[in-house]
Amino acid sequence: MAARTPGAEPATPPAATEGPVLVVGAGLLGASIGLGLRHLGVEVWLQDASPTAEAVAEDIGAGRSCRAAAEDRVPEPGLVVVAVPPDVAAETVARALEEHPAAVVLDVASVKEAVLEGVRARGADLTRYVGTHPMAGRERSGPVAARGELFTSMPWVVCDSGSSSPAALAAARHLAVDLGATVTFMDAREHDATVALISHLPQVMSSLLASRLQETPLHHLSLAGQGLRDTTRIAASDPGLWVQILAANAGPVVAALHGVREDLDRLIATLEAPRAPGARLDIAQLMAEGNAGRARIPGKHGGAPRAFETVTVLVGDVPGQLARLLAEIGEIGVNLEDLRLEHSPGQPVGLAEVSVLPHRRKELIEALQERGWKVVQ
């Protein structure tokens, strides 16, 4: 049974993770893990280099601040989760392994080989260490942005140190599953090569694209549609974190960037002579290659790619309208697979684009129209 804080809500359902859990680094990731575990009734303690982050994380309910409880005796944790920035992750893991000789120590840093090598270089006990990486995050940092549901249905990579004990690996798996994530086992090298392409390259491309907008007059930017917003969302990410991630995974990221450079060179050469024989075919080919890559991205919950169809509904800019639309879709009994909002500032209406299984689309349109919604065909 998980140890529970007296007076906590009954666990729903019981967690496999046993408390007390010590979370070191009470920012976005650490406080989100704390919130998720507290929701399951697990006892969580928080430690952060920043007294403010630690206090805010406690205030939002992510656990108890070790600083504030200095008078009490902070209990010895069975599990330590290190959620600090990548460049201090190895030293923090090594210190936790030393300070808590009976605890399993996990980290959640976005890069895995550099952390593992740093822990190894410090001569720490690798049997009790497991590197992990929840593939879930936000473009904002700090405990204020934390969400207990951040990991629900998201992948969580678990990397055996090469010497991790079965008990340590089980603790990593239990934490991820308790927080609603789906576990994938991978070694650190394969992890880093994978995230270079599926996480680090998107970040770089988004930042490079958004940086092109710096000199653009505002009245030009006001014409931007959802495409620009979609492709630049993660350009709002924390530069401090990304300097560390990119520097720690430079080799695999450079390999991915060389691939992009080849395609860019090819596109530039083609567009410099757009009427040359074969030029249009080459442009179409590049676009088709993009279509093929995108179609390979798995659908919700990591399942096989699945084609959804969209229904676009006009939503008045009145409080409660969107909530009413979602509630009515629920009443109609059609499962909402995805939701996207397009809203132009100053406009009295927005567009809600809901994704549904193709065979339910017609039924949903008819039911919404019957209820008075304007569906954009």
Ligand X SMILES: NC(=O)C1=CN([C@@H]2O[C@H](COP(=O)(O)OP(=O)(O)OC[C@H]3O[C@@H](n4cnc5c(N)ncnc54)[C@H](O)[C@@H]3O)[C@@H](O)[C@H]2O)C=CC1
Ligand Y SMILES: O=C(O)C(=O)Cc1ccc(O)cc1
Contact positions vs ligand X (CB under 6 A): 24-30, 48-50, 53, 83-86, 88-89, 92, 108-110, 133-134, 137-138, 141-142, 241, 245
Q: Write down the least CB distance from residue 368 to ligand Y, Å.
A: 30
Residues in CB range of 204: below 8 A, 6 or more apart: 246, 253, 257
CB 212 within 8 A of CB 127: no
β-sheet bridge partners, residue 45: 22, 64
| Segment interacting with ligand Y (CB under 6 A) among 129-137, 204-212, 260-268, 348-356 | 129-137
Nearer to ligand X by Cβ, of 44 and 245: the residue is 245
Give how far Cα 187 sits from Cα of 112, 161, 175, 280, 283, Å: 9, 8, 18, 43, 38
| Segment interacting with ligand Y (CB under 6 A) among 59-67, 136-144, 258-266, 336-344 | 136-144
Does 137 bind ligand Y (CB under 6 A)? Our answer is yes
Q: Which amino acid is at 247?
A: A
Nearer to ligand Y by Cβ, of 196 and 325: the residue is 196
Among 50, 165, 194, 199, binds ligand Y (CB under 6 A): 199
Which of ligand Y, ligand X, none does residue 199 bind (CB under 5 to 8 Å by kind)?
ligand Y
d(CA 210, CA 81): 34
Nearer to ligand X by Cβ, of 29 and 325: the residue is 29
Backbone angles phi, psi at 132, to 5 degrees: -140, 165
Which of ligand Y, ligand X, none does residue 334 bind (CB under 5 to 8 Å by kind)?
none
Does 110 bind ligand Y (CB under 6 A)? Our answer is yes
Angle at 279 between CA 278 and CA 283, to 5 degrees: 120
Q: Write down the least CB distance from residue 282 to ligand Y, Å.
A: 31
CB 180 within 8 A of CB 153: yes
Backbone angles phi, psi at 113, to 5 degrees: -70, -45
Nearer to ligand Y by Cβ, of 233 and 362: the residue is 233
Does 82 bind ligand Y (CB under 6 A)? Our answer is no
Which of ligand X, ligand Y, none does residue 84 bind (CB under 5 to 8 Å by kind)?
ligand X
d(CA 192, CA 202): 14
Which of ligand X, ligand Y, none does residue 141 bind (CB under 5 to 8 Å by kind)?
ligand X
DSSP-assigned letters across all residues of 259-321: HHHHHHHHHHHHHHSTTSTTHHHHHHHHHHHHHHHHHTS--GGG-S----EEEEEEEESSTTH
Nearer to ligand X by Cβ, of 164 and 237: the residue is 237
Does 135 bind ligand Y (CB under 6 A)? Our answer is yes
DSSP 4: B
Does 33 bind ligand Y (CB under 6 A)? Our answer is no
Nearer to ligand X by Cβ, of 147 and 343: the residue is 147
CB count within 10 Å of CB 263 equals 12
Does 234 bind ligand Y (CB under 6 A)? Our answer is yes
Q: Write down the least CB distance from residue 138 to ligand Y, Å.
A: 6
Q: Write down the least CB distance from residue 199 to ligand X, Å.
A: 9
Which of ligand X, ligand Y, none does residue 77 bind (CB under 5 to 8 Å by kind)?
none
Beta strand 155-160 pairing with 182-185: parallel
State both tokens at 292.
């093929």
| Segment interacting with ligand Y (CB under 6 A) among 19-27, 67-75, 78-86, 133-141 | 133-141
d(CA 242, CA 132): 18
Residue with tokens 């990591």: 302
The DSSP H or E segment spanning 176 is helix 166-178
Which of ligand Y, ligand X, none does residue 360 bind (CB under 5 to 8 Å by kind)?
none
- Binding region for ligand Y (CB under 6 A): 110, 135-139, 199, 234
